[in-house]
Structure 1
Amino acid sequence: MLLQRGIVSDNDEYLFPVDEEFTREDLRSFINYHRTNYEEQYKDKLREYKGQTKAFDDEIAQNMQDNNHLIVNFPKNLVDTLNGYFIGIPPTIKVDDQDKDKVLQAWIRNNSFVDKLAEVSKQSSIYGKAFMLAYNNENSELKTAVLSPDQSFMIYDDTINKKPIAFVTYGKNAKNEITGTAYYSNRADSFTYIDDIRITDSKLLVFKGKVPAVEFFDNEERMGVFDPVITLIHAYDKAFSAKLDDIDYFAHAYLFLKNFDLTEEEQLNIKQNRLIVTKNASEEYDVDAKFLEKPDADGNQENILNRLTTMIYQISMIANISDDVFGSSTSGTALAYKMQSMSNLAVNKERKFTQNLREMFSVLGVQLPYGEPMDITFRFTRNIPNNVAEEAETAKNLIGITSLETALSTLSVVSDPKAEITRIQEEQNEQTRNAVNNNPATDYGFNNSTTSEQGE
């Protein structure tokens, strides 16, 4: 999509010519495009995640004979299942240098960075992308914040590297005016937008040539977890609601009386006492009493609900962990096969997040003395039930074939194989020292280096 001077790619990337100067008019153009094309779309995705399906509400309003509107919150289930599997166990972020690692770990704890990483992962799965912003608070402490894309966007240059030019976040104040901030590589401009962009304040930034924000995404297409199956989810809600409508219909079925002449009092008596007495019981009158019923489609409804459930999990590639087949998995290998599709999603998400995190720490590294971004290692551990006995047997069989570090890496209870090897060595050294100290032979000075000289 072409703007006045910018471009929006098919993957929702905002691009601007690298050899042009970015002006307030360009900022206004991008904000207008975002508000018109994406702001409401992202808010709809959040409503889907919360179980507030606007599209279905509109359809129900047009068809008043449908009384029930049930929402089976598949979007939240899909997002939370994937992110619980991907980042339910906090990832390990560290550098080899112990002194620098202490600085890094202290900052991660003080900034609750792991929690913010979990939030940006969840938002990325909901919206298709999310943003993390670095800033200095009033005490000049380095902090980060997670921002959703409904009122934020990143602008890149149009080169193959797609270097960030500006990060824009905006909202409305009490006067219903659009206000926001545009972050550049050297400054942050606060603005108001009524008829035109007006810069109200400008602050210098100390991130040395880097826009202090990074876009996180699960895939290059910026697709959320439930985007490919949203029509199936709406169809399930509609079919499930129709099933309850049928149940309500049968609970309030109409009573058909043929050739009855009843007063209101007699009708009330039938309803209260559940007894019908015919006045015209003779061959002359064809007397009949029955409930009006519509055709029963329970079998068809159950089939379509089961089919939709299967398709939702299959197409979204998320494992249905409440399914009975997971309870029958007796080994880690069998469980791994059942979760293979979700594992593929998590592997791709891990690659993207490792790249995004390295970009984030490239920004943070200007003020955080932990070394170079390439020195940081990121380790994500899948949150799955583990058969420790089976893993221990595998690790035992690998010893002597592979390195001890590789063998220990197969154990889910070992988060850091190198540190575990160090602890093993320390325990062995301690046992050796204890054995020497408790050996009676030490009382006779057999371990004294001067014993042989004294004997001579």
Structure 2
Amino acid sequence: MAAPDVYRIADNQIMDEIQLEKYIAKNDEKVAQKYKKLQSAYETDYDIFHQAKKPEYKPDNRIAVNFAKYITDTMNGFFIGIPIKVSSKDSSVDGYINYLDVYNDQDDNNAELAKLMKIYGRGYEMYFVDEEGEIGITYLDPMEAFMIYDESILMRPRYFVRIYKDSEGIRHGSISNETTVQYFDIDGGLHFRTDEEKVHGFDGVPATEYIENSERQGIFESVLSMIDAYNKALSEKANDVDYFADAYMKILGAKLSEPELQAIRDMRILNFEGEDGSKIIADFMSKPSADTTQENLLERIERLIFLISMVANINDENFGTSSGIALKYKLQSMNNLAKTEERKFTSGMNQRYKLIFSNPVSGMKADDWLKVDIKFTRNFPANELEESQIAGNLSGITSKETQLKVLSVVDNVNDELDRIKEENKLDTEGYEVNRGVLAEQTEAVDQGLGEERGRTKEEINNSI
């Protein structure tokens, strides 16, 4: 199946100012029609706040329940709440990866990138050499960047475009190809800065597109219409409450003047007298109640939102009573989603290290990215006792490294293995020292006994 929602360019097509302006216009249209709506939903800016106003005499409550943010943050915490473990059996590669991740605060970058993927269906990562001469990594959302691929079945990246606004609201940007990065301004038309084209040093376009799924669909995009329906139903329910709290009074059979109406309203007392007083009707008009219908609708929509988005409502009162395998079954849909995202994220990370290691600044060999191991850990409620029992049962069956990977308390398997070796070395040295001391003590005792036996024998001979 051909990848949807991507920009392509022919191999013989030259990316000049006119062509680039066309691609930016396409992306601007997509931002307006899709991305801004998804961003607004995550930021609690729903259609309910923009619908036509009701007449002044009618209640007009606007209530929004931000399911989009809840679904996104819950799934993101489950998928990447426990940071990704990146390691290598090659000590030099492992050391550089750890340095690179700390230098770029990569655990936070990964979490933010994963969140962008869930909101927009995609996110971007850009690589560059900073002013310190180190390789920098940053994340970008599709409202400010996009990738252009070739027309082959492999979909090779050809160009990466980044756009931003300065303090005066003027748009600028950069476009990178396989060897260089060129800057441009959009002010009365797009113009390249011909004097600022630079070689970026990476073997390929210095950016990676991370996708949530092959369709590039956000995690709450399929339930957005239901969220809007839920917000509308809840707001109308609040309006009905206001209607009942401010019900109309009807008085039949008596004509009241303005002062009398005001007195009834202020004093809250009715007193009608006269021969026809028994025929006077005074009560409140009651509006037909649709409470049961509204509650059923709200309950059904809420259930469908979590069902279709495949994200569990972990705050449900019945959810917390589950444990063990029952809890994992309730999280099975989220786990299936996370497995798909893990494969996509791993693919992006492979491209990340392939590009970074291709730059001479990294000091790595170009193919060292093949030595990188990536380990994801689902953020299930941790049962450390169960994990330790599983790890113990693996003793003698698997390697120490595989045993340690079972334990969520171990952040870096290679570091833990090094600490175990160091502790074993210290224990061995301590044992050798103790054995030497014991040998010396034994020798001294033997020597003392020998001397004692010699003296005793001499004493016996003298007495004879």
TM-score, normalisation: structure 2:
0.86
Q: Is the 8 A contact 1:280 1:287 kept in 2?
A: no
Distance in 2 (alpha carbons) for counterparts of 1:191 and 1:422: 50
Confirm whether residue 157 of structure 1 aligns to residue 154 of structure 2. no
Indicate how the Cα distance of structure 1 residues 445 and 26 shifts in structure 2: closer, same or farther if over 3 A, else same: farther
One-letter amino acid of the counterpart of residue 185, structure 2: T
> Which stretch shows the higher mean deviation, 31-40 or 403-412?
403-412
Candidates 366, 372, 385, aligned match of 1:389? 385
Larger Rg: 2
Deviation at 1:99, TM superposition (A): 3.1
Distance in 2 (alpha carbons) for counterparts of 1:111 and 1:341: 33
Deviation at 1:362, TM superposition (A): 1.8
The runs of at least 4 consecutive aligned structure 1 residues that moved more than 6 Å come to none
Q: Is the 8 A contact 1:185 1:205 kept in 2?
A: no
Distance in 1 (alpha carbons) for counterparts of 2:428 and 2:442: 18
**Counterpart for residue 186 of structure 2:** 193
Indicate how the Cα distance of structure 1 residues 147 and 208 shifts in structure 2: closer, same or farther if over 3 A, else same: closer
Confirm whether residue 351 of structure 1 aligns to residue 331 of structure 2. no
Candidates 406, 410, 414, aligned match of 1:410? 406
Deviation at 1:203, TM superposition (A): 2.3
One-letter amino acid of the counterpart of residue 199, structure 1: F
Confirm whether residue 135 of structure 1 aligns to residue 123 of structure 2. no
Q: Is the 8 A contact 1:60 1:69 kept in 2?
A: no
Distance in 2 (alpha carbons) for counterparts of 1:175 and 1:437: 73
Q: Tell me the C-alpha RMSD between the 2 structures.
A: 2.5
One-letter amino acid of the counterpart of residue 272, structure 1: D
What percentage of aligned pairs have identical amino acids? 33
Distance in 2 (alpha carbons) for counterparts of 1:435 and 1:73: 62
CA offsets 1:18-73 (integer angstroms, 9 cap, x no match): 233332222121112222233442112111100011x3333344788560111100
One-letter amino acid of the counterpart of residue 152, structure 1: A
One-letter amino acid of the counterpart of residue 336, structure 2: N
**Counterpart for residue 47 of structure 1:** 40
One-letter amino acid of the counterpart of residue 260, structure 2: E
Q: Is the 8 A contact 1:71 1:237 kept in 2?
A: yes
Distance in 2 (alpha carbons) for counterparts of 1:370 and 1:62: 65
**Counterpart for residue 297 of structure 2:** 304
**Counterpart for residue 230 of structure 1:** 224
- SS of corresponding position for 1:270: helix
Indicate how the Cα distance of structure 1 residues 374 and 223 shifts in structure 2: closer, same or farther if over 3 A, else same: same
Q: Is the 8 A contact 1:190 1:200 kept in 2?
A: yes
CA offsets 1:101-154 (integer angstroms, 9 cap, x no match): 223222221221221121111111111111111123334332122211113211
Distance in 1 (alpha carbons) for counterparts of 2:131 and 2:407: 44
One-letter amino acid of the counterpart of residue 345, structure 2: F
Q: Is the 8 A contact 2:159 2:175 kept in 1?
A: yes
Deviation at 1:410, TM superposition (A): 2.8
One-letter amino acid of the counterpart of residue 82, structure 1: M
Deviation at 1:369, TM superposition (A): 2.5
One-letter amino acid of the counterpart of residue 256, structure 2: L
TM-score, normalisation: structure 1:
0.88
CA offsets 1:127-185 (integer angstroms, 9 cap, x no match): 11111111233343321222111132110111122111111122445665543221222
Q: Is the 8 A contact 2:227 2:305 kept in 1?
A: yes
Unaligned runs of 5+ in 2: 445-464
1:94-109 correspondence to structure 2 within 5 Å: 94-109=87-102
Confirm whether residue 324 of structure 1 aligns to residue 320 of structure 2. no
> Which stretch shows the higher mean deviation, 237-246 or 293-302?
293-302
Equivalent pairs, count: 436
**Counterpart for residue 371 of structure 2:** 375
Unaligned runs of 5+ in 1: 1-8, 448-456
CA offsets 1:241-280 (integer angstroms, 9 cap, x no match): 1110111111111111112332333323322332111134
Distance in 1 (alpha carbons) for counterparts of 2:390 and 2:85: 24
